Amino acid sequence: MSPDGRLLASAASDGTVRVWNLKELKVPPTTLELHFKGDVKRETRWLAQYGQSVCTPIAALLVYQLDPGSQVERMHRAIAVLAGVSAASVLTMLFKRSLGRVRPGRENAGKFLGPTWKHANYRESFPSSHSACAVALSVMLAILYPQAAATFWGLAIACAVLRYILDAHWPSDVLGGVALGYGVASATWAIFQRAGWV
C-alpha cells in the first residue's frame, strides 16, 4: 500500500505483480439510489411505515376491539403488542445512539462514529428501527392470529426491504433490525405468558 492510500501492490504465485489504483477501482454499489415518483412513491412510503408510531397503536386498538375473550384478556393482548414494539423501538434507539453508523448517501457513509446521546438522524443507521418495529409487530400479531401470519410477515418483509431500496439503510442495518425485532418481540411475549397475562 502506498503511503497516500492510492496504490496497492499484489503478487501471485506465478510471479505476477500488479499495482492497483484504488481511486479508480470500481466497487459494486451497496445502495440502489432509486427514485420513485407519484403513486409508487406514496405507496412505498406507506408500506415503510408498518410497525411505526401510528400503525402500532391502531393495531393494538384493533386487537382490543376485535379479539375474542374478556375485556381484561383483550386489554392484556393489546398491551403486549404495544410493549413488544415499544421495547424494540427503545432498544434500536439505544444501539443507534451507541454505534453512530452513518446512513447511505451522506458524508462518511457506512462509518461507525461512536456514541452520542444527541439525536442526529444522519448517524442513526444501525440497526433499522423501521425493520425492527415491523418485525416485532408481525411477531406479536402472528402469535395472536396465526391464520393471518403470512399477511403480517409480508408487510414486515416489504417494510424491511423498502428501507434498503429507499436508501435509508445498509443491508446489514436491515438484517440487524429484523433480528433485534424478532428477538425482542419473542422475549416480550414469553414475559407476558410467564406472568399469565396472555
Task: Kindly state the average pLDDT of the residues 72-76.
Answer: 95
> Among residues of the chain, what percentage have pLDDT more than 90?
60
More confident residue, 166 or 111: 111
How would residue 12 be classed by pLDDT, with cut points 50, 70 and 90? confident
Q: What are phi and psi of 114, to 5 degrees?
A: 90, 180
pLDDT at 42: 72
Q: Distances in Å between the alpha carbon of 175 and those of 38, 54, 55, 160, 182?
A: 29, 23, 21, 8, 11
Examine the pLDDT at 43 and tell me if it is beyond 90: no
Omega cis (within 30) before 28: no
Length of the chain: 198
Strands (E), the chain: 7-11, 17-21
Tell which residue, 177, 103, 166, 102, has the closest CA to residue 136. Answer: 177
pLDDT at 23: 63
| Residue 90 maps to a domain | yes
Three-state SS string across 144-186, please?
HCHHHHHHHHHHHHHHHHHHHHCCCCCHHHHHHHHHHHHHHHH
For the chain, the straight-line distance linking the first and the last C-alpha, in angstroms and rounded, comes to 60
How would residue 31 be classed by pLDDT, with cut points 50, 70 and 90? low
The span from the CA of 107 to the CA of 76, in Å, is 45
Examine the pLDDT at 190 and tell me if it is beyond 60: yes
Q: How many domains does the chain have?
A: 1
| Residue 33 maps to a domain | no
pLDDT at 37: 64
| Residue 144 maps to a domain | yes
| Residue 19 maps to a domain | no
Examine the pLDDT at 189 and tell me if it is beyond 90: yes
| Residue 31 maps to a domain | no
Cβ burial, residue 196 (10 Å; 0-12/13-18/19+): exposed
HSE toward the beta carbon, residue 193, CA cutoff 13 A: 9
| Residue 135 maps to a domain | yes
Q: What confidence tens digit (pLDDT) does each residue in 129-169 have?
A: 999 999 999 999 999 999 999 999 999 999 999 888 888 89
| Residue 6 maps to a domain | no
pLDDT at 137: 97
Q: Which three cell numbers stand for residue 196?
A: 399469565
How would residue 49 be classed by pLDDT, with cut points 50, 70 and 90? confident
How would residue 17 be classed by pLDDT, with cut points 50, 70 and 90? confident
| Residue 58 maps to a domain | yes
Structural domain boundaries enclosing 42: 38-194
- Quote the DSSP letter at residue 22: T
CATH number of residue 107's parent domain: 1.20.144
pLDDT at 115: 94
